[in-house]
Amino acid sequence: MQWSEEAIVLGVRRHGESSVIVEVMTRSRGRHLGMVRGGRSRTMQPVLQPGNSVDVTWRARLDEHLGEFRIEPLELRAGRLMETATAVYGVQAMAALLRFLPERDPHPHLYEALSVILDHLHEPADAGELFVRFELAVLNDLGFGLDLFECVATGSRENLCYVSPKSGRAVSREAGAPWADKMLALPAFLGDERRHAADAAALADGFRLTAFFLNRHVCEPRGLELASARDGFIQAALKALGTPRHDQPREAHA
Question: Domains in the chain, please, with CATH?
Answer: 2-76 (2.40.50.140), 83-247 (1.20.1440.120)
pLDDT category at 52 given cuts 50, 70, 90 is very high
User: What band does 192 get if pLDDT is binned at 50, 70 and 90?
Assistant: low
Residues 192 and 150: their CA atoms lie apart, in Å, by 9
The answer on pLDDT for 53 being more than 90 is yes
pLDDT tens for 1-35 read: 999 999 999 999 999 999 999 999 999 999 999 99
Given a cut of 90, whether residue 249 has pLDDT beyond it is no
Band (132; pLDDT cuts 50, 70, 90): very high
In degrees and rounded to multiples of 5, residue 131 shows phi and psi of -65, -45
DSSP state of 35: E
The mean per-residue pLDDT over the stretch 43-59 comes to: 97
Helix residue ranges per DSSP H, 99-166: 108-118, 124-141
CB 10 within 8 A of CB 24: yes
What is the per-residue pLDDT for 204? 95
Does 247 have pLDDT greater than 50?
A: no
Which pLDDT value is given to residue 41? Answer: 96
The average pLDDT across 101-123 equals 96
Angle made by CA atoms 189, 149, 151, in degrees to the nearest 5: 120
- Give, to the nearest 10 degrees, the angle between helix 85-98 and helix 108-118: 170
Going by pLDDT thresholds of 50, 70 and 90, the confidence category of residue 243 is: low
Q: Reduce the secondary structure of 233-254 to three states and give it as a string.
A: HHHHHHHHCCCCHHHCCCCCCC
Q: What is the structure's pLDDT at 125?
A: 83
